[in-house]
Structure 1
């Protein structure tokens, strides 16, 4: 038996493993039952160590105690009376009671604590069931605990629940519940409870703070993950954290960066060291640093970055430096482009030949380039003292102001007008002004830029053209020639007074109100439709010129002859869209021309008859065979057509062939008619007859074009002919043709001294002389002609 068993009469296990207060209850109970020796043992017991939340206190020189952990060995000394123990229990901070298996209180050790904590008087506690004051939400868990203790499953448990105070308010209690139902000295459940409302509230606040902190941390982590700005942490310039944006910026994965020196981000050691020095210098001076630098991506490309850094702890940089990284590559490129653009604009502004100025929204000039100042004669200072109104011509001011205000009101971004600006010396200069409203990035108007191009010379030209147009219009209106325009559809757009007069009184002309051509009926009764009309045909065919004469019938039966000349009109794309035509009544002129033509024909016939007479006279004088001249003329005309001569040219060739020997009229009969061979001197005279022909004919304009054959038909291909000794193609073609024909007819004709040659011998002779005396091409064509005739005759 130990000292507790010996002196208290209680078994040791009553004290061991139970709360000290439970022991108190046993002691109090034993005192109540008359076991006074419990008091005598207390001074003899040494209370060594109590521990727990309440420490040993000195009250009147006695050792006192309160609730301490269950697993401490309890020793007592200094308690001398039952009353002292009661005082100690009644003044305990905890509420101490014993419950039966229903939860009803069997014993309350300290009613003062109940009154202080729950507000109940001692009388109210009698027979009170603990579940009467337990919050409904906590009752089930306490009932479960009670059942477990009744079943002996749970010897001890500390629980927290809500209890209702006497004033109906709720507080939190923490209770140490000890199962002593099986102890015959207690036979109940000992509950030692204390008010922990403040602690619960504090813990709730702490939990709220922790939750808020965690939420804040989660929020910050979320922000870090999705932030459009790079965020990181370095310690001693080693990367401890980087967010996804930094990885995106430099092309590395997080695990490739974390733990690496920040040097991995820099293209050079020099740049890495510079950023470090500058960053830490700024942090030392301003608690934060901002540096613009260059980073190198994993692929080797470079990006421009602004780094902003600050320590986690300003007093201890070793805890790390947080930083943000903003990729400004695009901005730098934009700034560079802007600088280049501004430089280009500055150069344009300074060197442009067009006047450029700026003015504020009130219309006062703020700048002007050299071209504008030179144009208007102002210095920059003088110009910037003026407003738009100061230099505008009074007649232009209203329109300029209207457009300017519309631009400021947002109805347009720019406008262009032609206006006059005042020169410093007072005269006005015409110009084309384009005003542009310049806005800031938010769309707010900032200022107006104006571009003023000097168009004075153009205006002078336009004025000259206007005067010329008036002059031309006057001519068109007064000229005695009809002028009209017609569109592609055949509609007459314009007809001047003279044209109207020409059509006046004309039957079937079909001009409906001078706008639409209906066609007309000619004097022979046939109708000419619009699409057949000369002007319309010119439009449709794209003819560059039109020249036709039409005869129309008037109401009085008289006929008019109209000259209609014109050209098509083209649009800007080169497509024909109409025509302009000139009308002229040429009736009287045509009558005169017809009379003249008749006279000309009569005169021509007289000339031709005269020439024929000369030719016949020559034949008679030379005793030529009858018809020689006509034969050579016919062959020459046929050959000329084969060589492509025009009919007009053939007329002159015909006359030349007819007069080929006209020069022989100057040769004496003694030589011309000599029956025998000529002497050398006589040949000299004979060879002059082409010269005589030229002298005879050149003075007659009507016959001058016919000189080629009379003057050159004795020239030879090899240059052996006369009178000039021409060679090859220098001999006129008509003369070369006639030379072949003249030989053909001469050799084939009978002479007093010989018979004419057969055709085949003449042809053989021509072939022999081809390329020698005669043009080989002419000989070839002539032989084809003769052979063709022979074939036809056969």
Structure 2
């Protein structure tokens, strides 16, 4: 049996045309609303045929100043030779990209952009689309990060040890001058090259050549562990001798436990290879600096940071006692803040004016003060009496300076005469620099916290003042607002709201009737029943509240209660007639609290209701006026039991 022949229906021409129109409309909308600048050029003539609004806004030129112009005829692209050459390259390769291209807006402002151009075939015509993305903010952020990294690296640049930082594939990312000197290879020949491609020749302690697999960097990569006290030789090409180094290397991982970089530290021990104590001291110093740096970076507790610092000062510098005096910028005095190694607590009461005594002189003149024999020196300051019985014979005071400001003084004391070399003094200054950073970090953090606290207290006091001002206008509700706010916060906590959200709940509750400031006294204070016309006016207080509070940015999250606390679960409330869970949760909670406190309070026209009567009344309104779940949680709470 033959199957019936079916024929496909011919496409509707109008439908195709409409689809084309819709497609063009979608493209036009994307073009107009794109958050990148877009230029459309004729690929043959180079004339600009279209420009989107974002680029007009970005560069400040009008549409007329773009259209029918060549790229280099527009002020932002005035580098004529470069623009022409780029256009020729684009015509040839049909693609060109600049990751960073500086443009100038019409008013002369520099705009860093990412510039990508492609050639497309549209029908029988070739067009060029240029996408121009403003990356000025990103560049500024990158520059700020680079400045921070450069500051950190400048510290490493001055360390008396060689430091190399490698990527996980062994590529050299950073190399300080000491490392270049130890390896006898200029830093520029090592940077951005993998270890296998470098001319390093390492030897084992027995003098045999070290295979590539045993290089410290590879040991760390393979094991993922810290490499400590690894002794090896560096074969010097000129003399044929070995320079001996003590290597410590450690991996650094990111938050997802992926290897981020490897830090390799070389200490030249050629002259002191057999001097174990000296080597140990170097390592301990470096470890101390790292531990102090970690204590500073991971804690804003000044006592903890200084305790860590002073412990290392006494152990690493082999001194008998040390303390930190903090500079009070208000009284211009140095005050004891932390100390270790003292026999008595008398030093804790020390106060010394700027310029007085050894510490005052160190701070004022911003230089290290060394008193090798305290018996022959006369410090007129009263602290000489405070140190009686300590038997100190020598003293060092180092000013603590951060960002050009005096932070205090680090003092160290000896009870016996000891000669100290330049290395010891430099390490003392390094520890003092760490102390200054710790104090500065904590000061910045404390100032920020204090400012935030004062600002929050000012907000809170202002809001409470507004609520009290409203209650002064209506004596019958005196105390209602504060009670309702306190109760609402307690109940809202039962619904899992965070502390930050509870602050907004409290503010919203305090301001729940703020809109009544816009209601005339003859309506607000009327004891008789309101007329229908008067009710229309009274109900506007929620709208007035919204209009008053919404312009205040920090109160926008608190608007739910003032605006919606008269909405009802069944949708018969006002001002919007919201229904069910359309009503914000905090407004549903406050609605219960508002009725509870009002009925539990005496009024001129009635006495307060009993607890049981109020509970029954609220329960009866569950599902109509109130959210049934909110009613259940509230009535089962301890707060609404009495």
TM-score by length of 2: 0.37
Superposition TM-score, scaled by structure 1 size: 0.30
